[in-house]
Structure 1
Amino acid sequence: MSDTRSLPVPDGLEGDRLDAAIARMFGLSRTRAAEIITAGDVLLDGTEAGKSDRVQAGAWLQVTLPPPPSAPVPRAEAVPGMKIVHEDADIIVVDKPIGVVAHPTVGWTGPSVLEGLLASGVQLATSGAAERQGIVHRLDANTTGLMVVAKSEIAYSVLKRAFKERTVDKRYHTLVQGHPDPLRGTVDAPIGRHPAGDGRWAVVGDGRSSVTHYDTEEAFRAASLLEIKLETGRTHQIRVHMAALRHPCVGDMLYGADPTLAERLGVRRQWLHAVRLGFDHPTEGRPVEFSSPYPDDLAQAVEQLRED
Structure 2
Amino acid sequence: MTNYEVRADQNKLRIDKLLAEINPDNSRSQVQTWITDGYVKVNNEVIKANYKCQEGDLVEWSVPETKPMEIVAENIPLDIIYEDADVVVVNKPKGMVVHPSAGHPNGTLVNALLYHCDDLSGINGIERPGIVHRIDKDTSGLLVVAKNDQAHESLTEQLASKKAERKYEAIVHGIIEHETGMIDAPIGRDPKDRQKMGVVSNGKPAVTHFSVLDRYGHFTHVECQLETGRTHQIRVHFRYIDFPLVGDPKYGQRKTLDAKGQALHAKSLGFTHPRTNEWLQFEVEPPQVFMDLIEQIQKMY
Tell me the TM-score range normalised by the shorter chain: 0.7 to 0.9
Give, in whole Å, the separation in 1 of the partners of 2:157 and 2:98.
19
Give, in whole Å, the separation in 1 of the partners of 2:40 and 2:285.
51
* CA shift digits 1:233-254 (9 cap, x unpaired): 2222221222222221111122
Give, in whole Å, the separation in 2 of the partners of 1:48 and 1:204.
34
Task: Report 1:11-50 matches (<5 A).
Answer: 16-27=13-24, 28-37=26-35, 41-43=39-41
- Please tell me the residue identity of whatever aligns with 1:53: K
Residue equivalent to 1:262: 257
> Which sits farther off after the overlay, 141-150 or 228-237?
228-237
Residue equivalent to 1:235: 231
Give, in whole Å, the separation in 1 of the partners of 2:10 and 2:185.
24
Residue equivalent to 2:120: 124
The two structures have a TM-score, normalised by structure 2, of 0.86
Shift of 1:109: 4.0
Does residue 1:207 correspond to 2:203, yes or no? yes
Give, in whole Å, the separation in 1 of the partners of 2:191 and 2:257.
24
Residue equivalent to 2:289: 297
Shift of 1:131: 1.8
Give, in whole Å, the separation in 1 of the partners of 2:13 and 2:273.
48
Q: Is the alpha carbon distance of 1:302 and 1:10 closer, same or farther for their aligned partners in structure 2, counting shifts above 3 Å?
A: farther
* CA shift digits 1:244-294 (9 cap, x unpaired): 2222111112223354x414xxx2211000000111111111221110111
Unaligned runs of 5+ in 1: none
Tell me, what secondary structure is at the counterpart of 1:262?
A: coil
Unaligned runs of 5+ in 2: none
The two structures have a TM-score, normalised by structure 1, of 0.84
- The question of whether the paired residues in 1 share the 8 Å contact of 2:138 and 2:260 is answered with no
> Which sits farther off after the overlay, 12-21 or 273-282?
12-21
Shift of 1:166: 2.7
> Which sits farther off after the overlay, 104-113 or 37-46?
37-46
- Please tell me the residue identity of whatever aligns with 2:52: D
Residue equivalent to 2:268: 276
Give, in whole Å, the separation in 1 of the partners of 2:188 and 2:72.
32
**48, 63, 66: which is aligned to 2:64?**
66
Shift of 1:89: 1.6
- The question of whether the paired residues in 2 share the 8 Å contact of 1:189 and 1:210 is answered with yes
> Which sits farther off after the overlay, 155-164 or 122-131?
122-131
- The question of whether the paired residues in 2 share the 8 Å contact of 1:73 and 1:104 is answered with no
RMSD across aligned positions (CA): 2.8
Residue equivalent to 2:193: 196
Tell me, what secondary structure is at the counterpart of 1:175?
A: strand
* CA shift digits 1:35-77 (9 cap, x unpaired): 5446664455777777452465x97543222223x23222221
Residue equivalent to 1:104: 100
Task: Report 1:64-213 matches (<5 A).
Answer: 64-68=62-66, 70-80=67-77, 82-180=78-176, 183=179, 184-193=181-190, 195-197=192-194, 199-213=195-209
